Structure 1
Amino acid sequence: MVVSGRLVIPAAELSERFSRSSGPGGQGVNTTDSRVELSFDVAGSPSLPPHTRDRLLERLGSRLIDGVLTIAASEHRAQLANREAARARLVALLREASAPPPAKRRPTKPTRGSKERRLASKKRRGDVKRGRRRKFDE
């Protein structure tokens, strides 16, 4: 399963469990095991580079149980569709969590022209408001 250009997870590292799904399905819902639980051992995976593993463990910490990421899919009536949905969700989650952090913003200062434009617009606004005031006769 390809997560990104450099990250590929072999299917042998994934484990699937099937159970009965809740929701629509008529009488067949009582007999078919269409719910899928897809598990991936993030902490013990030999296919993950160490820096990627550390990043995944840090970012997915709240979703992991003993270093294992589990995703459940039961929105479809067919087991195959739920398997594909669970794998797609796993790929999206791993891709997002393994992405490098964005580049740090370099602080900049406003240009002289932008300062002058800002002050000029404030002056115009003040003049408009001053023109709305009631004038008292003295």
Structure 2
Amino acid sequence: MTPAERLRALIERDAEFSAIRAQGAGGQNVNKVSSAVHLRLDLAALPLTEAHRERLLALGDQRISDAGVLVIKAQSHRSQPMNRADAIERALDLLLSVATAPRKRIATKPTRGSQRRRVDDKRQRSETKANRGRPSE
């Protein structure tokens, strides 16, 4: 079982789903049927590493509440099972997006050629701007 499959199983097991009425156009179907799905997942209940949890909370994603609960609303499909699957997939994508730590940037010095091109461009730009004034007598 891959880590993504394990995480999907944890989401399906620990998430709380509630059916709600979808918004937008759709006529009688929207007005009568609760086909949209709210997924609520307590991130503290998931067996995530501390670094993984910190990266997740540091995202600043509006779907994560201050209490550490992920809330996803899925309403793009007409059927509740499809919206449920969509919500699970979106939660999985969010959790996998922070699964690996970002690579550290290694600072490098600009090459001599790039420094020379930069100075030449600045000099050319300076001459262009200087030539815009009134001609001197």
Scaled by the length of structure 2, the TM-score of the pair is 0.69
The whole-number CA distance in structure 2 between the counterparts of 1:43 and 1:52 is: 11
Partner of 2:29: 28
Change (3 A) 1:91 1:3: farther
Partner of 2:85: 84
Change (3 A) 1:122 1:37: closer
The whole-number CA distance in structure 2 between the counterparts of 1:33 and 1:67 is: 26
The farther-off stretch of 54-63 and 73-82 is 54-63
The whole-number CA distance in structure 1 between the counterparts of 2:111 and 2:61 is: 43
User: Displacement, 1:36?
Assistant: 0.1
Per-residue Cα deviation, 1:59-106 (whole angstroms, up to 9, x for no partner): 357522522111011222221221122122212222223441232241
Percent identity between the aligned chains?
33
**Where do 5+ consecutive residues of structure 1 fail to align?**
none
The farther-off stretch of 96-105 and 118-127 is 118-127
Partner of 2:17: 16
Partner of 1:101: 102
The farther-off stretch of 59-68 and 17-26 is 59-68
Scaled by the length of structure 1, the TM-score of the pair is 0.69
The whole-number CA distance in structure 2 between the counterparts of 1:89 and 1:23 is: 21
Partner of 1:69: 70
**Aligned-residue CA RMSD (Å):** 3.4
